[in-house]
Amino acid sequence: MPRLVVRSFAISLDGFSAAPGQRQQAPFGKNGLRLMNWVFATRVVNSKFGRPGGDEGLDNDFMAKADENIGASIMGRHMFGPPPDVADKPAWRGWWGDNPPYHHPVFVLTHEHKSALEMEGGTSFTFVNDGIESALEQAFAAANGKDVRIAGGAATVRQYLKAGLIDELHLVQVPLLMGQGERIFEDLGGVEERYECVEFTPSKAVSHLRIVRSAR
């Protein structure tokens, strides 16, 4: 059975995944990009951006596996684009340039009506206006038997977790303080009865946690 998964999703030690003040020059908000230092340090991500070097080891292994068997992605509006007051918004084609690092169909949850975008390298962006179940259905259909990954952000992961739709969640706790921002674990009372943490794998830089839906 194809599954709905979250992989390599970073949260700060105080629980935040993005800082306030998101804008075109700061996709993770003010000073929020620090959350991703462990990602940019890995060999696999450096090589994705055509750069030599980078660390091997546990974090690199997890990043290498993050895309494995993924046939489609789902993301929230903020993960696709900057806040609505950006001047070139209509022409916006995502944060990632002409050849985004997905290489499969991506479904964007939004209230905006916008035609689908075909990008280079096999990525497409389809804008879904009728809710998380609809996006999930479309993503599973597009994934052709492979798994679907929720790319982010925190609000999107939280909605799917609250609905009990996520099969497996790989979180990465990063030892830094953000102080404020968006978090997954807000208004999720009851999640502790439906999900459990079954794996704790710390690297030198971060803690990897695997959370799965409990057997019912």
For a second copy, the binding residues (CB under 8 A) are: 13-15, 31, 171, 173, 175-180, 184-185, 188-193, 195-197, 199-200, 202, 205-207, 209, 211
Q: What are phi and psi of 53, to 5 degrees?
A: 80, -170
Taking the complex as a whole, the smallest distance from the CB of residue 25 to a second copy amounts, in Å, to: 19
CA distance 185 to 71: 27
For a second copy, the closer of residues 94 and 181 by Cβ is 181
Taking the complex as a whole, the smallest distance from the CB of residue 129 to a second copy amounts, in Å, to: 30
Taking the complex as a whole, the smallest distance from the CB of residue 211 to a second copy amounts, in Å, to: 7
For a second copy, the closer of residues 112 and 199 by Cβ is 199
For a second copy, the closer of residues 110 and 203 by Cβ is 203
CA distance 139 to 143: 6
Token pair in block for residue 25: 């020059």
For a second copy, the closer of residues 31 and 110 by Cβ is 31
Taking the complex as a whole, the smallest distance from the CB of residue 11 to a second copy amounts, in Å, to: 9
